[in-house]
């Protein structure tokens, strides 16, 4: 029977992964309290160079952790993001909501953008994580600009070739005082958006006392 030599202990795998990330990535360009989030983003995609394209405004870590600890709703644009969020990390029993399934048709826009309109009543103080649709991020910014409620933090990681880079630049330009974290360019995705939420929800000491592997 064929057997391969590989590391099997999950704690050892976790420790080594984070050690290699810290050895290879230029984490000096991010604030100290944002480093754990950056590390988990790298861990989710395997690319240490994404740290060079990270952009943020305000104290993302403080705002995100405070909101989650207070029970803030987590609004996501895709079920993949929702399923990537580790509920056991949400100690306040935060509700994770994806409204995309409520939209059957969207006249003149995408279903993802139309689904964001259903966030209006829950938007105040929420943690928003967008990991799929650039149109969802654009629509969120339009709602806020038109006087809609302000979320506690925006984690903007839409992915793709049409509108992804542009929607992130719009976030950078229009977020104002709302803390945000994004990855400039085409790269992004549900795993990164979920990893950002998981990182904010995690105990800050978890990296030094790792348990189960998380994205």
Tokens of 15: 């420790």
Indicate if 102 belongs to the active site: no
Q: Is the alpha carbon torsion for 60, 93, 132, 84 positive or negative?
A: positive
In the sheet where 54-57 sits, what is the strand order?
Answer: 54-57, 180-183, 153-156, 127-130, 74-76, 96-98
Reduced to 3 states (helix: H, G, I; strand: E, B; else coil), residue 186 is: coil
The C-alpha atoms of residue 70 and residue 90 are separated, in whole angstroms, by 10
Q: Which of 43, 122, 139, 168 is catalytic?
A: 43
Q: How far is it, in rounded angstroms, from Cα 16 to Cα 182?
A: 26
DSSP string covering 147-172: TPPPPSEEEE---SSSSHHHHHHHHH
Residue keyed to tokens 């056991």: 88
Q: Measuring CA to CA, which residue among 196, 197, 159, 145 is closest to residue 38?
A: 196
Residues taking part in catalysis? 43
């Amino acid at each position: 029977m064929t057997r391969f030599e590989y590391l099997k202990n999950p704690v050892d795998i976790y420790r080594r992964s984070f050690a290699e990330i810290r050895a290879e990535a230029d984490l000096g360009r991010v604030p100290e309290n944002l480093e754990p989030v950056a590390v988990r983003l790298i861990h989710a995609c395997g690319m240490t160079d994404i740290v060079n394209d990270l952009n943020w405004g305000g104290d993302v870590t403080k705002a995100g952790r405070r909101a989650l600890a207070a029970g803030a709703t987590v609004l996501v644009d895709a079920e993949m993001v929702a399923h990537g969020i580790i509920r056991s990390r949400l100690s306040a029993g935060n509700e994770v909501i994806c409204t995309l399934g409520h939209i059957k048709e969207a006249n003149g826009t995408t279903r993802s953008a139309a689904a964001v309109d259903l966030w209006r009543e829950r938007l105040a103080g929420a943690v928003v994580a967008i990991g799929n649709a650039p149109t969802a991020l654009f629509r969120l910014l339009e709602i806020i600009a038109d006087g809609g409620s302000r979320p506690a933090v925006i984690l903007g990681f839409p992915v793709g070739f049409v509108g992804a880079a542009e929607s992130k630049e719009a976030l950078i330009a229009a977020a104002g005082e709302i803390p945000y974290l994004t990855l400039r360019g085409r790269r992004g995705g549900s795993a990164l958006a979920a990893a950002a939420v998981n990182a904010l929800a995690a105990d800050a000491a978890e990296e030094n006392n790792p348990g189960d592997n998380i994205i």
